[in-house]
């Protein structure tokens, strides 16, 4: 290999050749289009292949990110979200230790988080260098977000953002061998909304054979009620003064659309609910609820690694000051959580008995986390015949009040704690040995199918990554999750008391998200 080749690795794809860069002994290719720009006549439509190009396309910098509103000031102090303008936002990036056909290196495809409204592959925490350094071809991607990717309209197919993710996964299957990857050893991984998308695709018949393993971090396989998404679209339409159709929304200026989405979305919250965007059952790509499909035998042969953080809820509550408001509201906040989780009073009573010293906000946060996240991930692991492995990230951030919050584990998964973007959430002095352990577990799972501890069985082994050496506990959340075993009604009764609770929460600001 000549010095010039070493500086500029060139790889062929089905649509043309791309030139990357060698960075710290890893070949990096950024901004490769896997589908055509989703605008103009393609807006709100399923993705189509990109146009072919002649010559060699430079792939040195990240491509455009999908249109998205910025984080509020309260959240931006903890989370980074670069915005790169441009229409060609359906692009991906590849980090590889050996860009040579025939290398047959295991592959990790990464779906970013961000509540399906924010995030991108350009977030510095998601640097794929460490995975490539340790023998994994790493692929990250952008897809449509918010109303562009997950709005529900009578005149357009559902789930275009999820269809983008499928198109990227198909691109990997067709193209990754040229970058040294093994298309038969692809692990699909994601965090939060990325995990929800990954779970939906693992269950999707159209993705059969594209995925060998999957990692779902802080996000279960789930779908959102179609009416909840429709309400989001209708409220945007009212604000924009246009019909709630894809044709009408396609004629709206992109900036106006994002501002309307941000305004309407302020009342959405993982803790207290509200209209929101999400993957929906569409009878096509998502023919049924993914959790039901996966526990019913879908995706045979696909191993799973799932995890959560101990204090997921703190990222949802601390930045906007909601912890203090919920603690002040006391029993009223617990009643609101009962409505959110559609449970009876025995559930918060049980949590109070198990955690007598916890504040109201902690009880509400753990209840909602268990209901929305841990319980379905338990159900997923219980219902699968193929190997499943479960972990909990329990190291508390050095940022005041954040604890082991949602997304904190990512700097450890990627071993990117040196990045300023990771320190925004973790603070200074995050332990390198914990990053070595966490990152190493993911690498082992992608490479060999086992992260290094016992697979899930009736004893419920959970690997705990916290202070000190990682250790395995058996059933550490079983007592809390047992409180949800009684069947809950499909909807809470619309009693005057419940309506009074919701009104009081709104008056006190608990239904607003900063």
Q: pLDDT tens, 30-52?
A: 999 999 999 999 999 999 999 99
- Grade residue 489 by pLDDT with cuts at 50, 70 and 90: very low
Examine the residue annotation and report whether 490 is marked as an active-site residue of this protein. no
CA distance 200 to 409: 22
The pLDDT-based confidence of 339 (bands split at 50, 70, 90) is confident
Active-site residue identified among 121, 140, 218, 312 = 312
Sign of CA dihedral 88, 92, 98, 101: negative
pLDDT over 60 at 499, yes or no: no
CA distance 499 to 376: 28
> Listing from the earlier edge strand, what are the strands of the sheet with 56-58?
10-13, 16-19, 56-58
pLDDT digit string, tens, across residues 175-186: 999 999 999 999
- Three-state SS for 169-221 is HHHHHHHHHHHCEEEEEEEEEEECHHHHHHHHHHHCHHHCCCCCEEEEECCCC
Beta carbons within 8 Å of 281's beta carbon, 6+ residues apart: 223, 226, 287, 288, 289
Among 143, 378, 406, 439, the one annotated catalytic: 406
236, two tokens = 């945007």
Q: C-alpha distances in angstroms, 344 versus 364, 368, 376, 405? A: 14, 13, 19, 27
Domains present along the chain, CATH in parentheses: 3-507 (3.40.50.1820)
Q: What is the DSSP string of 317-381?
A: HTTTTHHHHHHHHTHHHHHHHHHHHT--THHHHHHHHH-TT--HHHHHHHHHHIIIIIHHHHHHH
Q: What is the pLDDT of residue 272?
A: 59
Adjacency order of strands within the sheet including 471-474: 21-23, 26-33, 91-96, 137-141, 105-111, 181-191, 213-217, 303-309, 388-393, 461-465, 471-474
Question: What is the average per-residue pLDDT within 377-385?
Answer: 96
Residue 331's pLDDT is what? 86
Distance CA 377, CA 350 (A): 21
Indicate if 175 belongs to the active site: no
Closest CA to 207 of 146, 175, 164: 164
Give 270 or 443, the one with higher predicted confidence.
443
Q: What is the pLDDT of residue 2?
A: 41
pLDDT-derived band of residue 22, with 50, 70 and 90 as boundaries? very high
pLDDT tier at 490, thresholds 50, 70, 90: very low
Q: In this predicted structure, what is the pLDDT of residue 162? A: 98
**pLDDT one-digit tens code per residue, 417-433:** 999 999 999 999 999 99
Res 185: pLDDT: 98
165, 176 contact by CB (below 8 A): no
* Phi–psi pair at 357, nearest 5 degrees: -95, 0
Question: 488 pLDDT band (50/70/90 cuts)?
Answer: very low
**pLDDT for residue 514 is more than 70:** no
What percentage of the chain has pLDDT greater than the value 70? 92
pLDDT of 508 > 70? The answer is no
Average pLDDT value for residue range 61-83: 95
pLDDT in tens, 228-285: 999 999 999 999 999 999 999 999 999 999 999 999 887 666 765 666 899 999 999 9
- Rounded CA separation 240/352 (Å): 45
SS3 assignment, position 69: coil
Q: Choose among 32, 10, 12: nearest CA to 20.
A: 10
Model confidence band, residue 500 (pLDDT cutoffs 50, 70, 90)? low
Q: Which of 210, 30, 193, 53 is nearest to 114 (CA)?
A: 193
Of 236, 317, 299, 254, which is closest to residue 74 (Cα–Cα)?
Answer: 317
- Please write the tens of the pLDDT for every residue from 174-232: 999 999 999 999 999 999 999 999 999 999 999 999 999 999 999 999 999 999 999 99
pLDDT at 312 over 80: yes
Q: Is 406 a catalytic residue?
A: yes
Instruction: Name the active-site residue from 175, 192, 218, 268.
Output: 192
Q: 3-class secondary structure for 244-289?
A: CCHHHHHCCCHHHHHHHHHHHHCCCECCCECCCCCCCCCCCCCCCC
pLDDT beyond 90 at 504 = no
Ramachandran angles phi, psi of 300, nearest 5°: -65, 145
Indicate the pLDDT class of residue 295, thresholds 50, 70 and 90.
very high
Mean per-residue pLDDT over the chain, rounded: 92
How many CA atoms lie less than 13 Å away from 22 in the CB half-sphere?
A: 14
**Residue 245: CB partners within 8 Å, gap ≥ 6?**
153, 154, 155
Q: Which residue has the higher pLDDT, 506 or 227?
A: 227
Residue 491 reports pLDDT greater than 60: no
Confidence (pLDDT) at 6: 63
- How do strand 213-217 and strand 181-191 relate by DSSP bridges? parallel
Q: Which has more confidence, 511 or 120? A: 120
């Amino acid at each position: 290999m000549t010095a010039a080749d070493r500086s500029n690795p060139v790889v062929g794809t089905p649509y043309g050749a791309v030139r990357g860069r060698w960075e710290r002994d890893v070949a990096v290719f950024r901004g490769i289009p896997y589908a055509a720009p989703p605008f103009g006549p393609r807006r709100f439509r399923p993705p189509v292949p990109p146009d072919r190009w002649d010559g060699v396309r430079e792939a040195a910098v990240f491509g455009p990110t999908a249109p998205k509103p910025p984080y509020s000031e309260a959240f931006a102090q903890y989370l980074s979200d670069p915005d790169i303008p441009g229409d060609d936002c359906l692009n991906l990036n590849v980090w590889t230790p050996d860009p040579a056909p025939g290398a047959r290196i295991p592959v990790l495809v990464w779906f970013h988080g961000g509540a399906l409204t924010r995030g991108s592959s350009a977030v510095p925490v998601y640097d794929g260098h460490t995975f490539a350094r340790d023998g994994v071809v790493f692929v990250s991607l952008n897809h449509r977000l918010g109303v562009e990717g997950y709005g529900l309209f009578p005149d357009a197919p559902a789930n275009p953002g999820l269809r983008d993710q499928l198109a990227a996964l198909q691109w990997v299957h067709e193209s990754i061998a040229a970058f040294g990857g093994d298309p038969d050893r692809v692990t699909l991984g994601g965090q939060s909304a990325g995990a929800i998308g990954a779970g939906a695709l693992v269950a999707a018949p159209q993705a059969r054979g594209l995925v060998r393993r999957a990692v779902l971090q802080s996000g279960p396989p789930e779908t959102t009620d179609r009416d909840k998404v429709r309400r989001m679209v209708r409220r945007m339409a009212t604000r924009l003064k246009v019909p709630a159709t894809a044709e009408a929304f396609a004629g709206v200026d992109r900036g106006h659309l994002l501002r309307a989405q941000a305004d309407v979305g302020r009342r959405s919250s993982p803790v207290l609910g509200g209209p929101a965007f999400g993957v929906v059952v569409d009878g096509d790509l998502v023919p049924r609820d993914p959790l039901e499909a996966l526990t019913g035998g879908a995706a045979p042969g696909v191993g799973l690694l799932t995890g959560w953080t101990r204090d997921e809820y703190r990222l949802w509550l601390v930045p906007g000051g909601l912890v203090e408001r919920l603690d002040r509201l006391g029993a009223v906040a617990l009643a609101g959580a009962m409505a959110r989780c559609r449970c009876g009073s025995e559930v918060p009573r049980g949590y109070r008995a198990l955690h007598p010293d916890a504040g109201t906000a902690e009880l509400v946060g753990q209840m909602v986390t268990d209901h929305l996240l841990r319980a379905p991930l338990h159900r997923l692991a219980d219902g699968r015949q193929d190997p499943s492995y479960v972990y909990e990230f329990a190291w508390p951030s050095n940022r005041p009040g954040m604890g082991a919050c949602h997304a904190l584990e990512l700097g450890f998964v990627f071993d990117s704690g040196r990045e300023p973007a990771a320190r925004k959430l973790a603070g200074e002095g995050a332990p390198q040995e914990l990053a070595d352990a966490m990152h190493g577990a993911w690498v082992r799972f992608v490479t060999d199918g086992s992260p290094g501890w016992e697979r899930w069985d009736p004893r419920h082994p959970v690997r705990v990554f916290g202070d000190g050496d990682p250790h395995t506990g058996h059933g550490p959340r079983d007592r809390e999750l047992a409180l949800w075993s009684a069947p809950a009604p499909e909807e809470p009764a619309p009693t005057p008391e419940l309506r009074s609770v919701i009104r009081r929460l709104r008056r006190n600001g608990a239904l607003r998200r900063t």
